Amino acid sequence: VTNQVFRFAKKAGANYINKPKMRHYVHCYALHCLDEDTSDALRRAFKERGENVGAWRQACYKPLVAIAAAQAWDIDAIFSSHPRLSVWYVPTKLRQLCHAERSAAAAAASASSVTAADHMP
């Protein structure tokens, strides 16, 4: 989280923000900005099951990876094009998950095309 973001939040009256912890929740905020319904449903489900905040925080990654997949895996472009997300860094873990999923999807696509070619008469 940049100092610019932190100063803006403080000026806007968010005096309760703990800067070292903010970076752990950037992806949760991103999900809320990009798909508020999914974000609310996810949070509600975890709350009803009585799970802790850490479990919910980890679960917020998967919908973001799906959003990135739908937009050609360009998570940086998703963040920079959104007015509320453009000032935030893309979390490293989110970037790594997108890269891993993209690699897995490419490997699956190439494996299926190879097996289809092997079975041609």
Residue 19 lies in a domain: yes
Whether 42 is in a domain gets the answer yes
pLDDT > 70? residue 15: no
Q: Please report the pLDDT score of residue 8 as a whole number.
A: 66
- Look at residue 54 in the predicted model and tell me its pLDDT: 85
Residue 70 lies in a domain: yes
67 within domain boundaries: yes
CATH of the domain at 29: 1.10.4180.10
Residue 45's domain comprises: 3-111
Q: Is 105 among the domain residues?
A: yes
Looking at residue 112, its pLDDT comes to 72
**DSSP track, 62-96:** HHHHHHHHHTTT-HHHHHHHSTTTTTSPPPHHHHH
**What's the structural domain count of the chain?**
1
Contact 61, 27 (CB under 8 A): yes
pLDDT (0 to 100) of residue 64: 94
With respect to residue 50, please indicate whether it lies within any of the assigned structural domains. Answer: yes
Residue 119 lies in a domain: no
- Structural domain contains residue 29: yes
Mean of pLDDT values over 34-45: 91
Confidence of residue 14 (pLDDT cuts 50, 70, 90): low
pLDDT score of 48: 93
Would you place residue 37 in the very low, low, confident or very high pLDDT band (cuts 50, 70, 90)? very high
Query: Which among 3, 36, 32 is positioned nearest to 17, based on CA atoms?
Result: 3
Pick the more confident residue, 98 or 3: 98
